Amino acid sequence: MNSAQLFEIELFAQSLVKGAALGLYLTPKPGLVDMADAGAHPDLTLAKMEHSLEIIDDYLAELIRSLSDGERLLCQAVVGRRAEQVMLEECGTNTLKGYIFLSGLLLIARWHAGANNQERLRQTVARLAEEYFAIRGEEETNGRTARRRFRTGGIVQEALAGLPALFDCAVPAYLEGIGRFGCFTTASFFMLARLMQTVEDTTTLHRGGTMGLARLRRDGQSLERAITGQGDVIGLLTVLNDEYVRMNLTMGGVGDLLCLAYGYLTASGQLMGDAGGAHRSKPQISRRRCLAGN
């Protein structure tokens, strides 16, 4: 890989870090950490989440070094596990564990795909995911427990399918939102509504079971109706956040995909509006059934 291609990969990694920041700062997000509060995560703070962004930055840079040295996927998997351990030690919890996996997978796929071609990229993601799970298997996590208990594919099936939640749901929905409303912030909440309706979020299943997931989807429908009907979107989201805190309900899979979509949209030059200015916010979505969780 020549210096120009390496520079493109570094920009792609920077976009993924920026995407995580944009997803964090979108406010309000029911049950998730944002600029208003910690949602249903009493162990987290905005400052901890901001520190986790620095860890993500270092992690993706280390991945690029591994790829540049010609190392195999197993070595990159070790880099990811090390990033998870650093996150746990420095933040007291794995604040962005799902995003470590998803952003790393997408970055490695971008390297091997050789170009920012969407179809080639998603095919490469699927191939690498198959190789990864064949090599490493699955950890015993809350997400895996939920996948077994509720017979859902979650983040594993999402990766094996080439990230349909990103390419078939998130990106088209963001662009639809911009086209319909002409407003970055409104388009962001529009995408959030669609994600809530479609993602099989295993963090939601872990905390709230099938009733929690059904609640998430109903709330996504209510949010979309508020947006299209010019209702009180911020008021609705604030009420939902209060209710999710009371119910101990959250949506980590939605949050991870939100960040990933922002990163990809930034890298592909499709993120219209002020990406880093006053709003400090942005997400992702679409009507097709998404598989991702956490």
Per residue of the chain (294 residues), what is the pLDDT tens digit?
678 889 999 999 999 999 999 999 999 999 999 999 999 999 999 999 999 999 999 999 999 999 999 999 999 999 999 999 999 999 988 789 999 999 999 999 999 998 778 999 999 999 999 999 988 765 655 555 655 665 576 888 999 999 999 999 988 989 999 999 999 899 999 999 999 999 999 999 999 999 999 999 999 999 999 999 999 999 999 999 999 999 999 999 999 999 999 999 999 999 874 333 333 333 333 333 344 444
Q: Please state the length of the chain.
A: 294
Does 237 reside within a domain? Answer: yes
d(CA 7, CA 264): 16
In the prediction, which pLDDT does 44 show? 95
Domain that includes residue 254, residue range: 3-267
Residues 6+ away with beta carbon under 8 Å from 219: 30, 196, 240
| Distance separating alpha carbons of residues 263 and 294, to the nearest angstrom | 18
CA distances from 34 to 146, 172, 227 (A): 25, 24, 20
* Domain presence at residue 116: yes
**Total tally of structural domains belonging to the chain:** 1
User: What pLDDT, in 10s, does the model give residues 56-70?
Assistant: 999 999 999 999 999
Residue 185 lies in a domain: yes
- Euclidean distance between CA atoms 30 and 12, whole angstroms: 29
In a domain, 282, yes or no: no
The answer to whether the CB of 102 falls within 8 A of the CB of 256 is yes
**Taking a C-beta distance cutoff of 8 angstroms, is the pair 165, 293 a contact?**
no
Residue 207 lies in a domain: yes
Cα 256 off chain centre by? 2
Q: Round the average pLDDT of the chain to a whole number and report it.
A: 88
Please tell me the predicted confidence (pLDDT) of residue 181.
93
**pTM given for the model:** 0.88
Find out whether 261 and 150 touch, Cβ atoms under 8 Å: no
Q: Which amino acid is at 70?
A: G
225 belongs to a structural domain: yes
| Start-to-end C-alpha separation, the chain | 33
Distance CA 223, CA 213 (A): 15
Task: List helix spans (H) across the chain.
Answer: 3-25, 46-68, 73-91, 97-113, 118-136, 142-150, 154-160, 164, 171-181, 184-198, 202-228, 233-247, 252-267
What's the pLDDT score for residue 146?
53
